[in-house]
Amino acid sequence: MPRVVVLPGDGIGPEVCASAAEVLQKVAPDVELDYQLLGGGAYDQTGSPFPDATREAVMNCDAVLLGTVGGAQNSPWNALPRPLRPESGLLQLRKALGVYANLRPVKVMPGLESLSPLREDLARQVDVLIVRELLGGAYFDPRRAIEGDSAYNTIGYSKSEVDRVARVAFDAARTRKKEVTSVDKANVLEVSELWRGVVQNLRDTEYPDIKLEHEYVDSVAMLLVKTPGRYDVIVTENLFGDILSDLAAVIPGSLGVMPSASLGDGPGLYEPIHGSAPDIAGKGIANPTGTILSVAMLLRHSLNRDAEARRIEAAVQAALEEVRTPDLGGKGTTQELGAAVLKALGRADLG
Ligand code: NAD
Ligand code: IPM
Ligand code: MN
């Protein structure tokens, strides 16, 4: 029996996870769910944002489904020493699982183009997969400190760290339009020069069938809004990928609809890309779409159940035609949208 560890986390995390877990149980009733703590709530209860019991559970499961972690800007959690903060719990979880490739697909569902702030003809063309490196760069580089009146962080990458994530991007491109754009800042940063060389070498030696372009991150930020249809797969380092994926998330209409899969050699980690949304937490109006679509990615990548993943994606699309949460301009609640997805899953024409 496959086992999925569910980490609802903080803020709207438990609200969106509840909907997503119902969807998972509906399409895969044989999956066993194991609920564990992560983030600020975990710190409050155990003194650690990534408790030992959670570490133990995630290292011995088939996949992990995560809500969100973190508090508001003025949360007491933000005054804790950095390793005890909610976000550190998430980073420790990613590190423990060894999930170095973060897949963040951006697509505008057919019929839902009007939700995009972009012109509908532009929105219709968007189908981008952002592959964000997740275990390197400034996030994990030990060369970091606050020293008196100054502070520094370091964006370090080894060739092998670049190579393994670039492979994920090239392999994904082979199942799509066979185009990869590697995003860097090679006009300024040495680390980007190394990144660019590794990616180009891999393309030339092992992926000659893939069209590879190199572009600068500042220009990509502009072009993702101006002509987003030009991209197929984007591969980039950790911090650039974090920023570009929130930017790209605006295209389908809301941060609330974007799912992600983080993959390595062990269990995969699946989470929406948005945060704990303290401004709406507890109101029952968070959009669960990103988490529900993360369940689809979980079924596809970790449990090898592509048919169920497609059913969920079709059901979400059908549900959004009827129910929309306030972030998408509607009046629907989390519960109502979740229920509409469950109802659509029951329809024969989607199965
Ligand atoms: P956020 O993503 O939580 O919120 C940004 C805006 O988007 C808010 O207005 C919020 O209401 C809205 N929003 C986000 N998700 C939504 C959803 N599902 N439905 C409707 N509206 C939604 O970003 P933030 O405010 O910068 O961060 C809040 C906290 O979340 C911080 O502590 C941050 O560190 C944390 N965070 C966690 C994760 C994660 O757990 N993976 C990701 C990003 C931020
Ligand atoms: C994300 C988040 C995290 C990140 C934070 C909460 C550590 O913004 O998943 O995109 O920066 O990776
Ligand atoms: Mn982010």
**pLDDT of 337 higher than 90:** yes
Q: Does the annotation place 242 within a ligand binding site? A: yes
CB under 8 Å to 323, separation ≥6 — which residues? Answer: 330, 332, 336, 337, 340
- Do 64 and 71 contact (CB within 8 A), yes or no? no
Residues with C-beta atoms within 5 A of ion ligand 3: 242
Told to judge if 62 belongs to the known catalytic residues of this protein, a careful annotator would answer no
The residue ranges of every structural domain in the chain are 1-100+264-351, 106-254
- pTM given for the model: 0.96
- The mean pLDDT of 264-268, rounded to a whole number, is 96
- Do 252 and 112 contact (CB within 8 A), yes or no? yes
Mutate to test the pocket of ligand 2, among 50, 133, 242 (most ligand atoms within 8 A of CB): 242
In ligand 1, which atom is closest to the CA atom of 271? 41
Q: Which residues pair with 34 in a beta bridge?
A: 5
Q: Does the annotation place 243 within a ligand binding site? A: no
**pLDDT of 350 higher than 90:** no
Domains 1-100+264-351 and 106-254 share a fold: yes
The fold of 106-254 is: Isopropylmalate Dehydrogenase (3.40.718)
CA distance 130 to 220: 12
Told to judge if 242 belongs to the known catalytic residues of this protein, a careful annotator would answer yes
Determine whether the shortest distance from the Cβ of 274 to ligand 1 is under 6 A. Answer: yes
Q: Could you report the per-residue pLDDT of 38-79, keeping only the tens digit for each?
A: 999 999 999 999 999 999 999 999 999 999 999 999 999 999
Q: Could you report the per-residue pLDDT of 16-42, keeping only the tens digit for each?
A: 999 999 999 999 999 999 999 999 999
Model ipTM value? 0.98
- Do 195 and 184 contact (CB within 8 A), yes or no? yes
The answer to which of 93-102, 130-139, 215-224, 248-257 has the lowest mean pLDDT is 248-257
Nearest CA to ligand 2 atom 12: 242
Residue 207 alpha carbon to ligand 1 centre in Å: 37
Residue 273 alpha carbon to ligand 3 centre in Å: 6
Tell me how crowded residue 174 is: count the other CB atoms within 10 A of its CB.
13
In this structure, which ligand is nearest to the CA of 243? Answer: 3
Told to judge if 34 belongs to the known catalytic residues of this protein, a careful annotator would answer no
Q: Does the annotation place 306 within a ligand binding site? A: no
Told to judge if 127 belongs to the known catalytic residues of this protein, a careful annotator would answer no
**CATH tag, 1-100+264-351:** 3.40.718.10
Residue 183 alpha carbon to ligand 3 centre in Å: 17
**pLDDT of 348 higher than 90:** no
- The mean pLDDT of 219-228, rounded to a whole number, is 96
| Pocket-forming residues, ligand 2, beta carbon under 6 Å | 70, 87, 90-91, 242, 273
Is residue 236 helix, strand or coil?
Answer: strand
Percentage of the chain beyond pLDDT 90 is 96
CA distances to 100, 165, 250 from 133, rounded to whole Å, are 6, 6, 21
Q: Could you report the per-residue pLDDT of 186-208, keeping only the tens digit for each?
A: 999 999 999 999 999 999 999 99
Tell me how crowded residue 222 is: count the other CB atoms within 10 A of its CB.
11
Nearest CA to ligand 1 atom 1: 275
CA distance 256 to 293: 10
Selecting among 139, 157, 207, 231, the annotated active-site residue is: 139
Tell me how crowded residue 22 is: count the other CB atoms within 10 A of its CB.
18
pLDDT of residue 272: 97
Selecting among 10, 184, 232, 242, the annotated active-site residue is: 242
Determine whether the shortest distance from the Cβ of 271 to ligand 1 is under 6 A. Answer: yes
Is residue 339 helix, strand or coil?
Answer: helix
